[in-house]
Chain A
Amino acid sequence: MTENAAALIILVPLMASFINLVVGLRWKEVCYPLTVATLGATVLLSFSIIQTVISKGTITYEFAGWAPPWGIAYVIDHLNAFMLAIVSFIGLVVSVYSKKSIEKDLPKKTAHFYTLFLLLVAGLLGILATGDAFNLFVFLEISSLAGYALIAVGDDRAPLASFNYVIMGTIGACFYLLGVGYLYIATGSLNMADLAGLLPNLYGSKVVLGAFAFMIVGVAIKIAFFPLHKWLPDAYTHAPSAVSAFVSSTMTKVGAYVMIRIMFTVFEPQFSTEILPASAMLGWLAVAAMLYGCVRAIAQTDAKRMLSYIIIAEVGYIVMGVSVGNRMGFTGAVLHILNDAFMMACLFLAVGAVEYKTGTRSLNSFGNLYKKMPVTMAAITIGGLSIVGIPPTAGFFSKWYLVLGAIGAGQWVFAAALLISSLLTAVIFFKILVNIYFGPQPAADLQGNGAAVISEAPVSMLFPISIMAAGVLSLGFLSGKIISSVIQFTVPGGF
């Protein structure tokens, strides 16, 4: 069981997705327990993997016994194991949450929804586990295709948003594929570890430079890195609330993981700093992303759109941490992947619960809502404080490392931009918090329609929201332990 865990963690959700479709079309009520059970098993597998990695080091699983570079191998080191645990855990929490919201949003299509949801989880886990550059492309497209379909079933605007996402996402995936093709021409290999051994002799080659550029730009589109972010706010705003919560907290982070893999595993760290000044370019664009995301977020009145713009800024933080090229910055970036996944899931789930009860996502409708939805509002408070970076919430610790990393690299502008964008998020969230606790009730309530109806969200929603909020708080306290047991081993050599 444990020796096959690396393969099972992909196969279990993948197979369950097909079983779900076959069984779910006949017996609709089976889908939800089946999905939760599957993702529960996935979480257990991911924990078993992370334990194996911590105690015994990197796991290499060769499919059908074909040794790499000929066969496809799954290579799971500390970084993969860490990411696998995040994605499967958030998948489980969101699937628990999805029961009521999907019953309301997609009453007739629950079987289809859960099939695609499991496919999306399987695709993301596949991206994380694989050690093969082409296999990564296939999983990237599995997860993206499931994502396009899930986003398209949202509100009225969703199909157009999803269509734009299909166009942009396809360009991104094709660029990545083109990069893989160039690497294959230059080296004759597709296995990441093999490529890492073959490439250093070819660093002067224009083909390799082109491959690197294509791969990084392709991934940058997928993670909505400024200035390639146009598709994200629309897609994440109009998706069903359970879908927004999952994709916002995992898809961009998995993309950031792919970027880290390309820059530091397939290529050596000094390639992206010395041979091609990619790190410097990514760093300055990350600064722009942090400021742009927060400035645009201030002006939004739709809660989900506001959070979507904050994601653009958060992606900027992660890329900035990766680009400064030192131990502190990299630790901060990896820790921020975890923290941001929890914060975004917490906030999107809470906003989804508000939308479920009030029928609107407008920030004005949050006025004085704490009286009616105390737990949900407490979760928004914790998530918001964490995004601002107020101790002891999780966001503070990763931002701390990111600032130290930027200062350590002598990049004062990066550190300043991070602090400014934190201040901007503080403006956004303090405005919201004041509105929640002291604001006027929305006019609709005072007229009497709705005042009696709005109450706390159902338990199947509250429980995941509380877990996420507790997670945001406890990750802050646990961050020292997480860094010492996992993250310090993910830092690439030479930092």
Chain B
Amino acid sequence: MEAMDYIISKYNYWMYIILMMIGFYAMIAKKNLVKKIVGMNIFQTAIILFFISTASKKGGASIPIIQNGHGSATDIINTAHYVNPLPHVLMLTAIVVMVSTFGVAIALLLMLYKKYNTLEEDEIISILKTENGK
């Protein structure tokens, strides 16, 4: 029961680890190159999920928009009422990086497909081997 509580209380980390391992497995074990980059995308998304989940706070914390700002604020700002915005901002940058990586990878797949007419790693390697044999 205690172990169950431990798992449930930290469920966001378990989710990210599971997702990350799915992506990792696809990147390493799958022979189809498209599946590899889909795995890469899952891998990166898991890390984004991890960062975002660390920003949240229990007890109804909301987005950090401060009313009556600009000098007129008289209330003391209680940080417990707001989620941490920094991980969100960091992940915005990471998403841009992820999309660019995905774009470069797809461009490479196009080059490979034009050259070998297949996206199976095994078939490309066997084509390369026969080329070498000549």
Q: Does B108 contact A (CB under 8 A)?
A: yes
Min CB distance, A239 to chain B, in Å?
Answer: 13
Counting chain B CB atoms within 10 Å of each CB, the highest count among A138, A181, A184 belongs to A181
Inter-chain contact A181/B108, CB cutoff 8 Å: no
Write the B100-134 contact mask toward A (1 if CB under 8 angstroms, else 0): 11001101110110010000000010001000000
Beta-carbon nearest neighbor of B113 in chain A: A159
For chain B, residues 1 to 55, give those with C-beta under 8 angstroms from any C-beta of chain A.
Answer: 24, 27, 33, 36-37, 40, 43-44, 47, 50-51, 54
Tell me the dominant secondary structure on chain A's binding face.
helix
> A148–B115 Cα gap in the complex (Å)?
18
Query: When the two chains form their complex, are residues B44 and A159 in contact, meaning their CB atoms are under 8 A apart?
Result: no
Query: Which one of A148, A156, A159 has the greatest number of beta carbons of chain B within 10 Å?
Result: A159
Chain A residues, CB < 8 A from B97:
137-138, 141, 145, 173
- 0/1 interface trace, chain A 127-164, chain B, CB 8 Å (1 if under): 00000001001100100010011001000110110110
Q: Which residues of B contact A208 (CB under 8 A)?
A: none
B40 touches A167 (CB 8 A): yes
> Does A288 make an interface contact (CB < 8 A)?
no
Q: Which residues does chain A contribute within 8 Å of B44, judged by CB atoms? A: 170, 174
Check A163 against B40 for contact (C-beta < 8 Å).
Answer: no
* Closest A residue by C-beta to B97: A141
Q: By the criterion CB–CB under 8 Å, are A178 and B47 in contact? A: yes
A166 touches B47 (CB 8 A): no
B134 to chain A, nearest CB (A): 13
B93 at the interface (CB under 8 A from A): yes
**Residue pair A181, B47 in contact (C-beta under 8 Å):** yes
CB closest residue in chain B, given A138: B93
Closest approach, in angstroms, between the C-beta of B76 and any C-beta of chain A? 20
Cβ-defined contact, B101 with A181, below 8 A: no
Q: Give the CA-CA distance A148 to B40 in the complex, in Å.
A: 15
- Decide if A163 touches B105 in the complex (CB within 8 Å): yes
Question: How many angstroms between the C-alpha atoms of A160 and B109 in the bound complex?
Answer: 9
Instruction: Contact check, B108 vs A134: say whether CB atoms are below 8 A apart.
Output: no
CB-defined contacts of B128 to chain A, threshold 8 Å: 157, 160
A34 to B115, CA, bound (A): 33
What distance in Å separates the Cβ of B33 from its nearest Cβ neighbour in chain A?
Answer: 7
Nearest B residue to A178, CB-CB: B47
Is the CB of A467 closer than 8 A to any CB of chain B? no
Chain B at the A interface: mostly helix, strand, loop or mixed?
A: helix
A152 and chain B: residue at smallest CB distance: B108
Question: Interface size bucket, A side?
Answer: 20 to 34
Q: How far is B40's CA from A163's CA once the two chains are assembled, in angstroms?
A: 12
- B47 touching A163 by the CB < 8 A rule? no
Is A181 touching B50 in the complex (CB atoms < 8 A)?
A: yes
Q: Is A198 an interface residue (CB 8 A)?
A: no
A368 to B115, CA, bound (A): 36
Q: Is the CB of B108 within 8 A of A148?
A: yes
Contact A141 B101 (CB under 8 A): yes
B47 and A184 within 8 A (CB): no
Q: Provided the pairs A163-B33, A163-B112 are in contact, do residues A177 and B94 lie with their beta carbons within 8 angstroms? A: yes
The reply on A185 being an interface residue by CB < 8 A is yes
Tell whether A178 pairs with B50 under 8 Å between CB atoms, given A141-B101, A170-B43, A170-B44: yes
Given known A177-B94, A178-B50, A181-B50, contact A166–B105 (CB-CB < 8 A): yes
Q: State A149–B104 Cα separation when bound (angstroms).
A: 7
Mark each residue of chain A from 352 to 379: 1 if its CB lies under 8 Å from any CB of chain B, else 0: 0000000000000000000000000000
Q: In the bound complex, do residue B104 and residue A145 qualify as a contact, i.e. CB atoms below 8 Å apart? A: yes
Query: In the complex the two chains form, what is the Cα distance from A137 to B47 in whole Å?
Result: 13
B80 within 8 Å of A (CB atoms) = no
| CB of B20 to closest CB in A, whole Å | 8
A44 smallest CB distance to B (angstroms): 30
A184 near B87 with CB under 8 A, answer yes
Let me know if B100 and A134 touch, CB within 8 A. no
A209 at the interface (CB under 8 A from B): no
Which residues from chain A contact B63 at a C-beta distance below 8 Å? Answer: none
Closest to B94 in A: A177
* A interface residues with partner B (beta carbon < 8 Å): 134, 137-138, 141, 145, 148-149, 152, 156-157, 159-160, 162-163, 166-167, 170-171, 173-174, 177-178, 181, 184-185, 190
- Cross-chain pairs A/B with CB under 8 angstroms, 6 sampled: A145-B97, A152-B108, A152-B111, A159-B108, A163-B33, A171-B43
For the complex of A and B, list the 4 residue pairs with the smallest distance between their C-beta atoms, beginning with the closest: A159-B111, A141-B97, A163-B108, A159-B112
